């Protein structure tokens, strides 16, 4: 049968970077091959966090709370005790003037950004066609696939700071960042997936000022950031403004399968998300929110993020960087300074093959990575740089990561040798 899909459907049923990533994740889970999965966004299994969540689940079962959670719908804004706990956490520890009416729960960060991007991009009720502005690329692979209009995202190149040794760092090129009536919102991740880049406090403050003056929302994606899971190795404290849309998740704390996204914003926007949620999902699952509500009420989530999650990934990052220097030493590689998240971003200047071809060669050798070309949503101009980069995750076992980087080194040397 030849299905006649809608134009809207064509945005979501074809080949995309997000589909590639998730297909590889599924293959890694189901395959009987000895795969080195350096491609996906799954967090590591941290034993201490697993124990916290198992104990929380045992309490839910023993108290009978699990039955209530599984047997009824919550409201479309989310599990109310959790909304109050999130607002209370930010009031007590960061002085934010917010209540539960500033907080909404979604079915994960991807769901949050689907709603936000389509709320702020496309044709407005006033007839103005607006876009979603990314201040720099590379950026999160999923952004490019979210907006209903394929031209809804606009981005620009970063400036590149070359540092001693093999390090480099991206910065926002503020001279290229213009906001006008056609700008619906500005979005940036911190730390950035895929690069591990952490925008400085000054860069964020400048973005807050520019967006405030332009009267557009600033969406700050903290899936890996402050105050939880706090996979940050550079300064990145939470900042507040009325026009800020602060997005968080429980995934990188260790609960990716429970799909729990958190949005903190002005109550008017929360009301819009509440309506969107009701139509798309009726209500988000309450299980993840319920499991962690006591951790938010007590502030224990901050201790776990600072003393368990962050040190675990800081050590893993240092190991992965060291292995890159060992196994790629005789190639012209550069590595983005690792300031957070669970990835390393590698740049191979003048790479003779595309990042897609390098991905295919590595996959044939049972190593999964993500080719760099998918991380430049909204960049209209050609740029060789995007085909010279790739993302690797260091969240898997140390053995798996080292083995995968060693094979990567062999394939990169082969590519340069073949010219």
**Whose CA is closest to 305, among 229, 202, 378, 399?**
229
pLDDT at 380 (0 to 100): 87
**Whose CA is closest to 206, among 183, 173, 231, 237?**
173
- Domains, in order of start, for the chain: 14-49+304-418 (3.90.1150.10), 72-299 (3.40.640.10)
CA dist., res. 419 & res. 414, Å (int):
9
pLDDT at 26 (0 to 100): 56
pLDDT at 24 (0 to 100): 62
Chain centre distance of CA 382 = 24
pLDDT at 18 (0 to 100): 62
What does pTM read for this prediction?
0.93
The tens-digit pLDDT sequence of the chain (419 residues) is 777 777 777 767 766 656 665 566 555 545 566 788 998 778 999 999 999 999 999 998 888 777 777 777 788 899 999 999 999 999 999 999 999 999 999 999 999 999 999 999 998 888 889 999 999 999 998 898 888 888 899 999 999 999 988 999 999 999 999 999 999 999 999 999 999 999 999 999 999 999 999 999 999 999 999 999 999 998 878 889 999 999 999 999 999 989 999 999 999 999 999 999 998 888 788 889 999 999 999 999 999 999 999 999 999 999 999 999 999 999 999 999 999 999 999 999 999 999 999 999 999 999 999 999 999 999 988 999 999 999 999 999 999 999 999 999 999 999 999 87
Torsion sign across C-alpha atoms 281, 18, 342, 96: negative
CA dist., res. 113 & res. 131, Å (int):
14
Question: Which burial class, exposed, middle or buried, applies to 80 when counting CB atoms under 10 A from its CB (0-12, 13-18, 19+)?
Answer: middle
pLDDT at 21 (0 to 100): 54
pLDDT at 283 (0 to 100): 79
Question: Which burial class, exposed, middle or buried, applies to 382 when counting CB atoms under 10 A from its CB (0-12, 13-18, 19+)?
Answer: exposed
pLDDT at 90 (0 to 100): 98
pLDDT at 333 (0 to 100): 97
Residues 6 or more apart in contact with residue 130 via CB below 8 angstroms: 120, 121, 122, 123, 124, 181, 182, 183, 184
């Amino acid at each position: 049968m030849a299905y006649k899909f809608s134009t809207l459907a064509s945005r979501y049923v074809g080949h995309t970077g997000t589909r590639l990533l998730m297909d590889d994740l599924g293959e890694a889970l189901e395959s009987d091959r000895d795969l080195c999965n350096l491609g996906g966004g799954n967090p590591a299994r941290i034993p201490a966090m697993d124990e916290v969540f198992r104990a929380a689940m045992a309490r839910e079962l023993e108290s009978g709370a699990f039955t209530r959670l599984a047997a009824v719908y919550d409201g479309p804004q989310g599990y109310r005790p959790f909304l109050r706990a999130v607002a209370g956490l930010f009031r007590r520890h960061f002085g934010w003037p917010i209540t539960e009416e500033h907080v909404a729960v979604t079915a994960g960060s991807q769901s949050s950004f689907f709603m936000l991007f389509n709320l702020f991009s496309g044709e407005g009720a006033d007839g103005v066609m607006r876009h979603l502005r990314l201040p720099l690329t590379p950026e999160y692979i999923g952004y490019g696939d979210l907006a209903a209009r394929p031209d809804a995202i606009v981005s620009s190149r970063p400036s590149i700071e070359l540092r001693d040794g093999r390090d480099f760092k991206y910065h926002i090129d503020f001279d290229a960042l213009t906001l006008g009536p056609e700008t619906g919102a500005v979005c940036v991740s911190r730390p950035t997936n895929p690069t591990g880049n952490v925008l400085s406090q000054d860069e964020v403050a400048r973005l807050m000022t520019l967006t405030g003056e332009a009267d557009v929302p600033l969406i700050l994606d903290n899936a890996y950031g402050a105050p939880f899971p706090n996979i940050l190795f550079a300064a990145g404290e939470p900042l507040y403004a009325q026009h800020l849309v602060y997005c968080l998740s429980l995934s990188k704390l260790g609960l990716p399968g429970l799909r729990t996204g958190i949005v903190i914003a002005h109550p008017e926007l929360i009301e819009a998300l509440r309506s969107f949620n009701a139509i798309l999902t009726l209500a988000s699952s309450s299980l993840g929110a319920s499991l962690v509500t006591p951790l938010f009420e007590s502030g224990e989530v901050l201790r776990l993020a600072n003393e368990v999650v962050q040190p675990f990934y800081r050590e893993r990052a240092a190991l992965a960087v060291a292995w890159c220097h060992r196994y790629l030493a005789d190639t012209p590689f550069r590595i983005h300074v690792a300031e957070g998240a669970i990835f390393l971003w590698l740049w191979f200047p003048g790479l003779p093959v595309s990042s897609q071809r390098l991905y295919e060669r590595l996959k044939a050798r049972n190593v999964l990575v993500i080719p760099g070309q998918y991380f430049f949503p909204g960049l209209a101009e050609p740029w060789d740089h995007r085909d010279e980069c790739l993302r690797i995750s260091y969240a898997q076992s140390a053995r798996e990561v080292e083995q995968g980087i060693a094979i990567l080194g062999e394939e990169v040397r082969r590519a340069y040798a073949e010219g």
